[in-house]
Structure formats: structure tokens, C-alpha cells
Amino acid sequence: MTPLYIADLAALREKLERAEGEHSRIGRVWRAMRKAVAAKPFDYYWHVPFVALVTEDSGAIQAAKEVLRWYVAALDSRQYSSGLQFHFWCMSFPHARWAVYFQWLQALGAWEDEEAKALRQRLLDYQFLNFFYGLRTKPEPECADNQTMSLALSNALLGTIFEGELAARMKVDGLRRLPDTIGGLRSSGYSGEGSTYMSHVVAPCLPFVVELLNQHHGEEWFSRQLPPEGGSAEAICRMTGRLFMPGGYMLPWDHYGYITGTRACLAYAAQKSGDGWYLDLLRQVDWSHEESAGWGLDDLVWSLVWWPNEEPGSSGRAFRGWAEPEEGAALVSADEKLYLLQMWDRSEPKMPTRQHVNPNALILAAYGVPLTLDGIPIHQLCTVFDYDDTWRIIRNADFAEKRGNFGSGCGGAHGIILLDGWEGMRCGSEYRQAELLAYSEEEQSVTADVTPIYRERWPDVRRVVRRSRLCHDRFWVIEDLIVCGDVHQATARWYLREGLVGSERGVCTENAEGVRLHLVPVLGPDEKEWESVAGYPDKLDGRSLRVDFHQRGSVCRWLWIAWPHQGREEIEDLCEGWRAVPDDTGELDFSSAREALARSALTLPFTEPALLVGEAPVARTWWYSRCVDLPADTEIWVRLPADLSDATLWVDGEEQTLEEHVPTMRLIGPHVEVSRWGGKQVELVVRTTVANNHRLDNSHTMAGFSGRPALLAACGGGGFETADYADGVITVTADGRDYRVEHTLLPEEVEHA
């Protein structure tokens, strides 16, 4: 019997052995996974079946069997859970993988016949009673989303793995519907639901779907464009990759906001397409912990499975520009430090929840950190999006009714043009909401027309267009044009990172990482107001600065200069040379840890958890220390890795709270100011929790950290001075020099070809 999805087990073993010998990325992941499972199999239970399959270690096999028994035993009580009743799709994809893991153990000959029969029957009837039923709930073919894909896959998969009447019946529906779950996505590959559902459900599910279709039909489905919308697996993989931004996190497009992403689908795409870009991208993202993938914790397992046996050559860069006529376009500087996304994808009519109203909204990032914000609010803290016209009655699955507000999906919650102050802006019906007018990678320019979504409410609106340009690979020029038959109040709304800095024109912010954004209208009024919005978004700083620029007229135009400035520079790399001490039981205090560190012979990089970077034991808590000489008479910061959990820093024996950096440090390494120790040599001590424990009662299920610690100092000089527009030329004085950009304004009338 061949283990499902692993056509050549010997080749997989050889790939992992070779990678481990080469200390490559997947080699280090595999080694860490193997060691963790050997030490604590039931803590790392999502990884146990894979380790058992690859190593055939008897201990791992016994542990994997025990985990499968526990999984099946838990199905009885799960049948009563509200989670199963109301969100059955979340259970279906994990169920499919546990069925695969059961089959792997069967392929190893690990089960006695009687036990295998009992487990098989329970896996099957649970599937039939819950997920066959669930799939039949979803309209065919209209439902093409993460939920339907999960349900169709689980039916097709269990129907394939097992035999019998129920299995055969489920296989028919599951296999029939799988192509629709790919083809129902737009040809761009974007699901419209945002990075979370793309990267954490659709993308992890996709390789299982494609491989099953390949196996069943005996032909290749990866690149095939499918009806009804023209989606393809390849396009979905490509879009999933495009959702990553420089810095390694994912776009806050539509629902949920900035997040870290999964890796397995990109490894699969590299294997299927032979395009080295996917591996270039994977070298830039966080591998330090498991990600929730399809409501399970085995993204690393499948990353190793799908990783190509022969790695394609590098494409030269991980982040590059792109445009999709139905969705948006990205402009990326040659050094990958400046990033702009302009989005105009479909929003959901009437009650936009996941597919937000974001016509021509911009995401700007520079030097690895976001400058603008999008996402969802912390509802307990943030009520600014509870607009009067966006209340609705929500009927829960238990039939209880409550009032809810969907304003955070509407126009007012996004960096767009608002007309006459309508913050609850949304579509009332289905129509084409936007059009890409021009995109040039060479000229680093994109223009999109979003008139229809405004014209629905105001029939006199003739044009609402935004053009974005990346100029001199150094700054952005953004033009907004609103042309109407009547006079309207236009508001250009921006959601920026907090940190308002005094500025004569426009607005200037400096975020927690010292990156400044000067946003200056060189054409159009500078009449503005700003407000700090606590609780929006729920990611990064957990707050934002909302800036509204206003003008009134039948023709309104702004020409913006958006100038990013990196206020801090790296003066010393602190990645290497940290003494390390494991503290699995968490019994060390600072004093005893410091003594242990002084005695420790274990020296590690402080860039990823110990298990990934060196010969280290499996332990939940780790202490690190190293000495550093701090320069005098300048502002200085220590940058730590991102995503440290329960972390504390001591500088020269003095505890520094990292509280103010939560939740930003989930995605971005915190900068801790240490200027007052300038001129001294100090010891840095860090304690952090890295336990990669999969248990449900553990708050550190996905703990890990990743990044390059460094000593930073304030940059001297440079930055933005002035900007003007005259006679078709933008002149910007900054960084001690003049930048000149020819810019022809957008025409007020629609151009006809």
C-alpha cells in the first residue's frame, strides 16, 4: 500500500536526509520536528504520524497510533459540540488529514485488522453524518470558498481512502464538486476573503485537492483554468504568494488584517511549476513555528512533503510588482524596501463582511514595516465604525437574535475617497465595481477607475480615479480625481500607524520602528482633521491615526507625495553569539538564569528557536544573553526578533517591559530604546517561551520567534524637506537632493480609445 500523497517514500526520505545534512531550511525543520516528536510525542501530536512514516521508528509509530485512537475516541463528545454543529467545515479538513494519517499507518502495517476496521468505521460514519450533510448544505456551484473546498475535499478523500457504500456515495459528491471549488474563484486566484482564508485554509487545502483530482482523472489539474469563474490552482498559489509583503507577513486586504502565512502551498507550487520565485519567497518568511493551516497544526509537515526534490533556480527576487485587472496591483522597489498595493476588488453588496469596500485603497510599507493600516477592529474597544446605517439583526445558529454592525467592512473603515461623508459606503447590488485603466511595471504606475460604486448612490458622479506611482525607487506619487455633475464634499481618508509628528504641510507620522511617512498634498487643499482610533486595527499597534483631508466642488483633485524615511540604521548585527540556557520547567529566575548563562557552553544565534538553529534540547522556555557595547551621545535601540512570546528583556540587569510592543511584535521585531546606557558595555538577557506545543489547553500552540536582532542608531540628516507641483513637474527636495518627476494630471473626462 502506498501512503496517500506520498508517491515515493524512498525519495521523500532521501530528500529529508540530504536537506538535514546540508542544514538547509527544510533540513533544519525536519531535524527539529524529529527531535521534538522523539522527546514529547504527545505534545507535538500533529507531527507524529509524519515522523512515524518517514522514520518507521517504533516509538513514533506507537505514539501515532495512540494519537489516532484519541482522535477517534474524541469524536463521540465532539458530536455534541456547538463548534461541530455551527462550523462543521472547520472540523472537516482536519478530519480528512487524520484519515490520511490513519492510512499512512496502515501503509506501514501498524494496525491489527480488528482495530483498523473499528477506526475506519468511526472515521467514515462521522464523516458521513457531519460533513456529507455539510457539503449538501452548500449551493452548487455558487459556494466556492474555503468552507466548501474543505467539505468537498474531506468527502472525496475519505471516499478515496476507504471502501464501502458510504465511502462511494461521499466520493461521488466530493469529487464532482472539487473542480468548482477551484474554478469558482476568480481567474486572479484571489478568493476575496483576505489573507487569512487564502493562506490558512484555501492554500493548505489546494494541494490535496489537485493531487486527488490528478489521481482520479489521470491527468494534471494544477494549471488548468476551470469554470465557472476561470480559477486555477496555479493562480491561487501565485496569489497566495503575492499576498506576502516585504517583511514576511501578509497583506491586510479585506478581512482580518496583517498576519503571518502558511508555507506548504508555496512549496507545492514550486514543485509543480518549477518557478524558483516560490522558494525565494519561502526564504523570506517565518518558519519558526507551526501555523494554523486548515484548522490544524501540520503546515510544516506538508511543507516538507511538497518541497521539490530538485529545487528550481532562484528568480532573483522574492517580492515584485504585479497587477490583476479584477483585484489590484502592487508596485515594489528594486531593493524590495518600498511596497504599495492599490486594491479595487469586488466588495460584497448590502452587508460587506469579509469582502470589504475598499475602492482604490492603498497599503504602503517601507523598510519592512507597514505605514498604513487595514483590517478589523477590536469590537470591545472600537465603536467608530458602528455607523447609523450599518446595523443589522444577526440571527445566531441557536436562533438568538442580537444587533450587530457591519460598518468595519464598509468604505469608512478604509483609506479611500468618501463622498458627502457617507462612511457606511457600500454597494446595493451586484455590478462591476471597478476597472484597471493602466498598469506599467516598467514605469511603476497603476491607475484604476472606481466610479461605479460611487455612481450607484450619486448618479451625477462621472469619474473617481486614483493613480499611484513609485518614483525614483524612493517615494510615491498618488493622484486622486473626483469629477461630478454637482458639488460634493470629498474626503480623502487615510489610516496611518500612530505617531503624529509636527509638520507644516500634510501629515507626518513616525511609527514604533522609527519609519516616517510624510504625506503631502502638492495639489488640492491641505484642509484636514485627524483622530486617534483605539482598537483599530486589532493587529500591529492595536490603534491607528485616521486622517481626513477635505475639499468641496464638482471637480476635486489631490496630488500627494508620500515620502517614507527610515529613521534608524543598523550599526551592529546581534544575531550570533548568544549564550543560551533551556528552562523547560520555567523554574529559573533572573538571578539563577544569569548564573546558568555565565556557565553555559551553549552558544546559539538568537534568530529562531534553539531547536531550529543548533544542537539544543527540547524546552519550553529559553534564556539568552550577550554583551554589547553601546555608543555614546546618540539615540540607540536594540531590535529583537519578532513574535517573542511571554518575553522579558533585561538590560544591564534592569528589567525592561515589552508590554508596549504587544501586539506589534507578533509581526515586527520590537525596538527597545537603550540610549540611557550609551557609552557602556551592557549585558542583554532575554527570556522567552518557544514551546511548540500543539495541545488545546496551551496558549503557546504556535509560539516561536524569528528575526535578526541588531543594534540601531538614529539616522543623521536626510529626510523630507519640500515638495511642489508646477508646469507638469513634481519637485521633491529630500535626502539633501532634488527629485524631479514629470506628471501629467488625470483628465477630467473619460478618455476614449
Partner 1 sequence: MHDNHFERMEAVMAAGRAGNCAQLEEALADRDWRIRFTAAVAAGECGDEGLALPLVALIDREDLQPLYSEPRMSAVSSDAASIFGSDLEFDGQVTDEEKAAWQRRGRVKQAAILALGELGIRRPEVLSRLHRDLLDMKQDYMVRAACAKALGELGDRGSLSFLQQACEDDEFCTRTEACKAVAQIERMSGNE
Contact footprint for partner 1 (CB under 8 A): 42, 45, 67, 70-71, 73-74, 77-82, 85, 121-122, 124-125, 128-129, 132-134, 136-139, 142-143, 164-166, 169, 392-393, 395, 397-399, 694-698
Instruction: Tell me the closest approach of the beta carbon of residue 393 to partner 1, in angstroms.
Output: 8
**Which residue, 140 or 435, is less far from partner 1 as judged by CB?**
140
Cα distance between residue 715 and residue 570, in whole Å: 9
By the 8 A CB rule, do 743 and 732 touch? no
Q: Taking the C-alpha atoms of 206, 211, 217 and 219 in order, what is their torsion angle to the nearest 10 degrees?
A: 100
**Which residue, 170 or 331, is less far from partner 1 as judged by CB?**
170
**Which residue, 23 or 136, is less far from partner 1 as judged by CB?**
136
From start to end of 652-748, where are the E strands?
654-656, 671-673, 681-689, 710-714, 720-726, 729-734, 737-742
Instruction: Tell me the closest approach of the beta carbon of residue 120 to partner 1, in angstroms.
Output: 9
Please state the φ and ψ torsions of residue 405, each to the nearest 5 degrees: -125, 130
**Which residue, 122 or 457, is less far from partner 1 as judged by CB?**
122
Instruction: Tell me the closest approach of the beta carbon of residue 240 to partner 1, in angstroms.
Output: 24
Instruction: Tell me the closest approach of the beta carbon of residue 645 to partner 1, in angstroms.
Output: 19
In our burial notation (b when 16+ CB lie closer than 10 A, e otherwise), range 287-306 reads bbbbbbbbbbbbbbbbbbbb
Alpha carbons within 13 A on the beta-carbon side of 558: 28
Instruction: Tell me the closest approach of the beta carbon of residue 187 to partner 1, in angstroms.
Output: 22
Angle between the N-to-C axes of helices 264-273 and 203-217, in degrees from 0 to 180, rounded to the nearest 10: 40
By the 8 A CB rule, do 615 and 40 touch? no
Cα distance between residue 570 and residue 709, in whole Å: 10
Strands 645-651 and 720-726: unpaired
Instruction: Tell me the closest approach of the beta carbon of residue 215 to partner 1, in angstroms.
Output: 24
Scan for cell 470629498, then name that residue: 490
**Which residue, 398 or 633, is less far from partner 1 as judged by CB?**
398
Rg (CA), the chain: 27
Instruction: Tell me the closest approach of the beta carbon of residue 76 to partner 1, in angstroms.
Output: 8
**Which residue, 45 or 494, is less far from partner 1 as judged by CB?**
45
Cα distance between residue 415 and residue 425, in whole Å: 12
* Of 252, 721, 244, 740, nearest in space to 477 by CA: 740
**Which residue, 130 or 444, is less far from partner 1 as judged by CB?**
130
Instruction: Tell me the closest approach of the beta carbon of residue 43 to partner 1, in angstroms.
Output: 9
Cα distance between residue 5 and residue 353, in whole Å: 36
**Which residue, 143 or 611, is less far from partner 1 as judged by CB?**
143
Instruction: Tell me the closest approach of the beta carbon of residue 94 to partner 1, in angstroms.
Output: 10
Quick one: DSSP state of residue 418? E
Cα distance between residue 272 and residue 287, in whole Å: 21
**Which residue, 396 or 532, is less far from partner 1 as judged by CB?**
396
**Which residue, 401 or 749, is less far from partner 1 as judged by CB?**
401
Coil vs helix vs strand at 443: coil
Instruction: Tell me the closest approach of the beta carbon of residue 227 to partner 1, in angstroms.
Output: 17
CA 519 vs CA 35, 291, 336, 507, 548: distances in Å: 51, 36, 21, 5, 12
